[in-house]
Structure formats: C-alpha cells, structure tokens
C-alpha cells in the first residue's frame, strides 16, 4: 500500500487549545503524524511518497472563496492587529445576530469558526494546503488504478464545512478528494467516516447531492463534539435525500455494537455501488483516547480494516483524528494491515 505524506504538516504546531476552561497544548499535534509514519515504515507497509501540488482549484470546488482567503491571510491579519497569542475566536454571529463577516480579524475569526478550541498559528495555512495535496495525490493514485492508498493528512479535515473551520480542521481533505475524483469522471463516491466524532463538515458539503454517499459512525451528538449535527434523522435534502446516513452511538460503546453498525454501513455502501470509497480514518474510537468514549481495542482496528476491504472497492484512507499518542501509530496501521490481509 502506498502512503502519501508531507513533512510540511510540521508547520502546523499550535501551542494552545481551549480545553476544560484552560489553554493546553493541543491534542492534535505534530507527533501524531510522525508516530504514524514511523509505524508505516517499521511495518514496511509500502512506498512512502510526497504529494504533488494541485493548487487551489480543488479547494475552491468545495470551499467558499472568501473563507479560503480568510484562512490564507488570518495569521498575518492577527499579527498585524498587534495580538501576541495565537488566533482564537471569542465571539460568534449567534441566533438573531447579523450573519455578515466583519472587517476586523477578531470578528472574522468568530464568523468563520465553528468552535473555539482550534487556534490559528504560524504555518497553519501552509500545513492545511499540504494536507489537501496529500489527499488529492492519493485520489490521483486511485484514479490511476491503485487498489488502496493511505493519505496521511495533517491537519485533519472532516469538521471543516464549506465556510467554517474548527475541530482541528481547516480544509476538508476527504471532501476535496471526493470532488476531485468526480471531476475526473467518477460517477459516484462513498465516504465512510469512522472517526469517533461526526464528520459534520463532510455532511455539510454533500447533504443535497446524490453523487456522494456519506456514512458516519460516531458518538451521539447529545454527548460529544460537534454536538449540533450527526443525528440519525439527518438523511439528506433534495437530490441528496437518502444519501446521508448517520449511526450515532452512546458512551462506552464496545466493539461488538460498533461492529454491528459498520456491517449495516458497509451494506449501504455496497448497494450504492460507488466507483471508489474514501474512508475518513479516525482512530479516536480507541478505548484509551483522551477526548472520546468508545471502547475499541487495538486488535479491533485490524478487524474492521478487513471488513472494509470486503467491499472490494478502490479505497482511499484519509487520516482524521486519534489522540492516544502512544497507540495512534499502532491503531492506524492496524486498520491498513487488516485491509491488506483480505
């Protein structure tokens, strides 16, 4: 299995995250990707290649142009305003407020942020662009006939909507890759999101479309981030009705229950008949993950990797979450090894 990886992810090294009323060192940190790529190499998973540069065109196919410009200039604007810390949103256009982007960067942050935990720091834009290129390069290999590719994206992407960042995400890597494949001639793409947190951004991108089936297994939104999306009755709109499928599950869900949901999800994908499958691969379903509440073990990741392979489809794995640092490499590569075992 070929892995696409960029050292430019290290440019995103934020020092602050708002968590539990404190500013802490972020759970989403450079060492995550470094541990994963080390595991890829020690397990001899396959060739590791750098991404190609695809520019902004694939980004603008799914993201709002003004939002992209904001991300590109946010750090410079923040610094020019004289702020000394990292850029964190503090005010939002809440219910019954005017939905219009302000001129001042402090207001722009709130307009374009869906949550306050994710700061913008030096190098964030450059890392996000590189992460997008990792995903699209993986998609290009799929287009060229590869059976399976691992896009080791960092920062992750599935919380980023067309015009909002948050949840450690800035550009929606899986969504950009899906649209790129469609633009190259694919008829249907399925996105399977197995991250613990609901892929609200990916759902947002394709909610009214039938050329992308979005299926997500995640913690119930009543109990966990992103809280305001991911309910089972969110099934799509217009042409997309029936092409958005959510499987929310409660705290302490064990693998046998999670696996039952995956079986149903895979049956839905099979019946859809996609040209390719994109897996938003989060391993924060792990029992020791510090910001999640499912109970999967390391061996379970190998098992469900093999289950996904059972679809018999070209598959692009796009890295999302997973914050148990000691096991993040083990659990990620276990999924890929499980997939290749079939």
Residue in 9, 12, 6, 11 with CA at minimum distance from that of residue 26: 12
In the block, which residue shows the tokens 């992460």?
Answer: 131
Distance CA 124, CA 115 (A): 16
Is 198 assigned a catalytic role?
no
Which residues are 70's β-sheet partners?
none
Q: How many beta carbons lie within 10 A of that of residue 85, not counting itself?
A: 11
Catalytic-labelled residue, pool 159, 197, 198, 218: 159
With b meaning 16 or more CB within 10 Å and e meaning fewer, what string describes 38-72? ebbeeeebbeebebeebeeebbeebbeeebbebbe
Which residues are 286's β-sheet partners?
296
Residue in 307, 300, 292, 293 with CA at minimum distance from that of residue 331: 300
Which tokens hold the place of 266? 């895979």
Whether the Cβ atoms of residue 308 and residue 315 lie closer than 8 Å to each other: yes
Catalytic residues, by residue number, are 159
């Amino acid at each position: 299995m070929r892995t696409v990886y960029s050292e430019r992810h290290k440019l995103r090294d934020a020092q602050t995250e708002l968590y539990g009323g404190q500013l802490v060192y972020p759970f989403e940190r450079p060492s995550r990707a470094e541990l994963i790529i080390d595991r890829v190499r020690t397990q001899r998973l396959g060739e590791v290649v750098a991404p190609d540069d695809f520019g902004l065109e694939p980004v603008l196919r799914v993201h709002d142009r003004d939002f992209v410009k904001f991300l590109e200039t946010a750090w410079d604007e923040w610094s020019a305003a004289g702020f000394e810390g990292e850029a964190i949103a503090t005010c939002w256009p809440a219910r019954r407020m005017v939905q219009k982007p302000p001129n001042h960067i402090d207001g722009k942050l709130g307009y374009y942020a869906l949550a306050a935990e994710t700061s913008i720091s030096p190098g964030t834009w450059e890392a996000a662009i590189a992460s997008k290129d990792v995903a699209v390069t993986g998609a290009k290999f799929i287009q060229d006939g590869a059976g399976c590719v691992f896009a080791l994206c960092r920062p992750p992407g599935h919380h980023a909507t067309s015009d909002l960042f948050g949840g450690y995400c800035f550009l929606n890597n899986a969504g950009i890759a899906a649209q790129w494949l469609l633009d190259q001639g694919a008829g249907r793409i399925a996105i399977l999101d197995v991250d613990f947190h609901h892929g609200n951004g990916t759902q947002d991108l394709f909610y009214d479309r039938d050329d992308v089936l979005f299926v997500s297994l995640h913690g119930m939104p009543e109990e966990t981030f992103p809280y305001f999306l991911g309910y089972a009755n969110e099934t799509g709109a217009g042409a997309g009705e029936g092409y958005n499928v959510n499987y929310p599950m409660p705290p302490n869900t064990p693998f046998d229950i999670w696996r039952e949901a995956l079986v149903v999800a895979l049956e839905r994908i099979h019946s859809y008949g996609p040209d390719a499958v994109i897996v938003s691969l989060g391993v924060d379903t792990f029992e020791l993950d510090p910001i999640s509440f499912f109970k999967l073990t390391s061996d379970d990741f190998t098992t469900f990797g093999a289950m996904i392979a059972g679809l018999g489809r070209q598959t692009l794995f796009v890295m999302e979450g997973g914050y148990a640092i000691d096991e993040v490499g083990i659990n990620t590569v276990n999924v890929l090894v499980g997939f290749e075992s079939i």
